[in-house]
Structure 1
Amino acid sequence: MDTVSDQKGSATKVQKLDERLPFHRKLTYGFTDISGNLLYCIISGYMLYFFTNVFGMSIGTAGVLLLIGRIFDAVGAPVMGILVDHTHSKYGKSRPWFLWMSLPFAIFVWLLFTTPSLTGTAKIMYGAIIY
């Protein structure tokens, strides 16, 4: 078994190289990541078409909304990472967030692809808030 010394010089046992994550666990993590990215790519790829051709926004307005969304995402992703890192529950660090946020996420995706009969600034505000 490999050993490593700490600052006091005493040897501590470390995990063997062959005691890694099992293949089935890697596979399930991979499928979860694939499904999340597939959903993200479908939504983000369809949004410009939806905002312009279905919801009736101009291409410039839709592009600015998508840009602002990416800026918020650039700030929000590290913040969520910090929140997950500081979460301690009997279910782990990230599982509670997936459980707590699945229903709000589903509601907002449904609202994102609905087309209420709004005009002008109200339509832009609705798209900005929901996206």
Structure 2
Amino acid sequence: MQALLLSCLLAAASAVSLYYEDDVIPREPPIPVPPRIMKANDKLIMVQVVWRHGDRAPVMTYPTDEHGEEAWPNGWGELTAVGEFQLGMRQQYALGRVLHKRYINSSDPLISRRYNSKQVGIWEIYGERCR
């Protein structure tokens, strides 16, 4: 049986016109990738998903900025989480829903519904935004 290795690259894109999942996740990648149609004997055996953080607060301000540090309760450069600036958290939540629907809650799930550390590996770069 032929095995299929699927790699997905999901990256934040600021200028993508088609959105779903509460309008925060792009429907299509910024660079179109032609779909690979699975053949009858193909079996999905692994998925690699790579993404960066969601929308963040600025890392610093400028002298006439209307929004001081108090507008960013998580701090400079951190994921936006509250009030009108909650896009970053919404993006990450929506991404989780998309991945769950596609690889767990599907007719042929790739991994079990219950977390299993032998099925899922997560790596991060050390930093507050990655926790």
Q: TM-score range by the shorter chain?
A: under 0.3
TM-score normalised by the chain length of structure 2 = 0.27
Bigger relative CO (Cα 8 Å, ≥ 6 apart):
2
- Work out which of the two has the higher radius of gyration on C-alpha atoms and give 1 or 2: 1
Choose between structure 1 and 2: higher strand proportion: 2
**TM-score, length of structure 1 as denominator length:** 0.27
